[in-house]
Amino acid sequence: MAKKNPNRIKEGSPIATFLVHFILFILALICIYPVWYTIIISVSEPIAARTLNVFLLPKGLYWGSYQQLIEDSQVWVGYGNTIIYAFTCTVGMLVVCAMAAYPMTSPYLRGKKLMVFFILIPMYFVGGLIPQYILYTRLGLYNTRWAIILPGCVSMWYIILIRTFFASIPEELREAARIDGANNYQILLNVYVPTSKPIMAVIAIYTLVAQWNSWFAASIYLTEEPLQPLQLYLRRMLILQSNAAGTSSGGQGGATSDSTEAAMLMQLSAEQLKYTMIVVATLPIMLVYPFMQKYFVKGVMVGSLKG
């Protein structure tokens, strides 16, 4: 009879494994169902959507809300502006933060601790909305794309995060590159950036999502509609639709049956439009997110804990 090896790794209990997988499955359903519910209610009949009488599958098929958004040219203008802001701010954030973080990892930089302390100050103290508005106006940024792009290209927290990650890279790599004749820009681009893909991916997706969902800054600094992002336009459109539906429902005293039915359909469509806007606004981010997810755990843990 063969003796049991005391050093053999013991496998987990099948019951415990089943319970862990079952709990994770329930948690996944809890996270996925709201997204699925929003999608099916956006394509259901307006009456079912208004009464929220939809659970697992759409009741009927109604594409009126999507058609209303697709046929609106301002939606595509807003999409284009959002793509410009999100893409430009994401690239700018990576470039600016990496170039700001790299010098602070050099052992030969004088006043390095003072620079880090100076960067930490804006993380806790800000001037406020009114001074910022005055500053943007005096700089000529008001009603220009730069009012969104320039502030979106720098983050003190991301500079500290990248600096912490850069500090975990062996200094010998920098010295070896210097021996080979590389300058600081070449070392940053060819040594540090390729080694820091996880933290760069994390910052890229965070910046992309933040800029894609941002609307408050645009509502303050962009009053011209051709410059406004998608989120701000959808917000304004939703308010107009709700007001129009309320006006139609309030003035039905002497209306005919056809006009009453049209007003009722408008009111129902306005209610369903909320869910359609959520799908239209979040679908691009949902498609991009899975490709960046593999970098999250490594990037966040190493960038936050090391150094």
CA angle 230–281–36, rounded 5-degree value: 165
Tokens of residue 130, six digits: 């009114």
What's residue 67's pLDDT?
A: 82
Distance between CA atoms of residues 250 and 274, nearest Å: 21
Residue with tokens 């004088």: 110
Structural domains in the chain?
15-62 (no CATH), 64-249+259-305 (1.10.3720.10)
Residue with tokens 């306005």: 270
Q: Is the dihedral of CA 69, 72, 73, 74 positive or negative?
A: negative
Tokens of residue 108, six digits: 């030969």
What's residue 305's pLDDT?
A: 45
Residues 6+ apart with CB under 8 A from 177: 186, 187, 190, 191
Mean pLDDT of successive 10-residue segments in the chain (307 residues)?
57 78 92 88 80 80 81 85 93 93 85 83 82 90 92 90 88 87 88 87 88 89 89 79 58 52 56 80 80 63 48
User: Would you call 2 helix, strand, or coil by DSSP?
Assistant: coil
Distance between CA atoms of residues 211 and 79, nearest Å: 12
What's residue 58's pLDDT?
A: 84
What's residue 307's pLDDT?
A: 43
Residue 191 is given by DSSP the state I
